Amino acid sequence: MARKKLNVNESVANVAAQMCEGNPGAIAALSSILTKRDDGLLVVLSLDDMNIRGCQIWVAYKDWAGGDVDKLAKGAFDRDQSMIDMVNERSGIEEVAVNSGASDKRYYESKKENQFFTPGPNKDFDPL
Over residues 50-79, the pLDDT tens digits come to 999 999 999 999 999 999 999 999 999 999
- pLDDT for 8 equals 82
Per-residue pLDDT tens over the stretch 5-38 = 888 899 999 999 999 999 999 999 999 999 999 9
**Nearest C-alpha neighbor of 63 from the set 104, 108, 12, 26:** 26
Separation between Cα atoms, residue 122 and residue 119, nearest integer Å: 7
Per-residue pLDDT tens over the stretch 110-121 = 555 554 445 555
- pLDDT for 6 equals 87
Burial per residue of 69-92, b for 16 or more beta-carbon CB atoms within 10 angstroms, e otherwise: bebbbebbeeebeebbebbbeebe
39 torsion bin: left (phi>0), alpha (psi -120 to 50), beta (else): alpha
